[in-house]
Copies of this chain bind each other. A is one copy, B any other.
Amino acid sequence: MCQLLGMNCNVPTDIVFSFTGFATRGGHTSDHIDGWGIAFFEGAGVRHFVDYQAATASPIADLIKRWPIKSKNVIAHIRKATQGRVALENCHPFVRELWGRYWVFAHNGDLKDFVPVLDGPYRPVGGTDSEQAFCFLLQQLRRRFGDTAPELPALTSALRELTDGIARHGPFNMMLSDGSALFVHCSTSLYYIVRKYPFAEAKLADEDLSVDFSQVTTPNDRVAIIVTEPLTANEKWIAFQTGELKVFVEGAVARV
């Protein structure tokens, strides 16, 4: 199984603190050594970094821990291979375009007997069940809504139905973003926290590192962090329910 990290905010925020704790699990405090990746939306564009080395040994992971890229939507993944060999094309997150937007997707789980009919324009490049699921999601969204993106409630409802169907094949913890919303589906393990005013100090569970968020934020900032296992020891993380899909917009859970 793999681990997921997502961030959704109302102002572009860097993920250096959370990523530092998360990346430590890619080889040091956990054995997720079969690659890693991270994608940052920046406006309509995406910075996409993947590597089949362990995050703890990767020169790019090292750069990202030092370079505060600011983004409103981020998805990161560290991989422990279940399906698909250790190779660049099998590293999450995956990126495709639909409706003139980039979509970013990462998955933790293991789908059995999942052989969707992929006869639309989205085909997997690598050999993972995860990329198959991503291609299937985009194909079905395009089939349902045609050439025009729907409003958030209709999109969310379609994704609830589709992720429910995929999760019948096995654990399907996943994160999906088009740069405006972050969709998160939980099968087995996901937690989230919304940091907002009054901000406090947070202390990583995997590294000896603390940050006092009240020193680096403004009162209007709001940041949602979603992760496979809580990243800090001194904050209250909320567990997702099995089968739950939540949508994060502007750093908060959207009521859709």
Contact = CB atoms under 8 A, between A and B. Distances in A.
Contact of A88 (B42, B89, B121, B126): B42
Nearest to A101: B125
A44 B125 contact: yes
Oligomer copy total: 2
Interface residues of A, number: 37
A124 interface: yes
A60 interface: yes
A147 interface: yes
Nearest to A67: B59
Interface in A94-144: 95-102, 119-126, 142
A63 B67 CA distance: 12
A196 interface: no
A142 B121 contact: yes
Given A43-B87, A50-B47, A91-B45, A125 B97 contact: yes
Contacts of A91: 45
Given A59-B63, A97-B96, A119-B147, A88 B47 contact: yes
Nearest to A94: B97
A254 to B, nearest CB: 23
B45 A125 contact: yes
Contacts of A121: 98, 120-122, 142
A50 B45 contact: yes
Contact of A100 (B96, B99, B124): B124
Nearest to A118: B100
A53 B119 CA distance: 39
Interface of A: 42-51, 59-60, 63, 67, 87-91, 95-102, 119-126, 142, 147
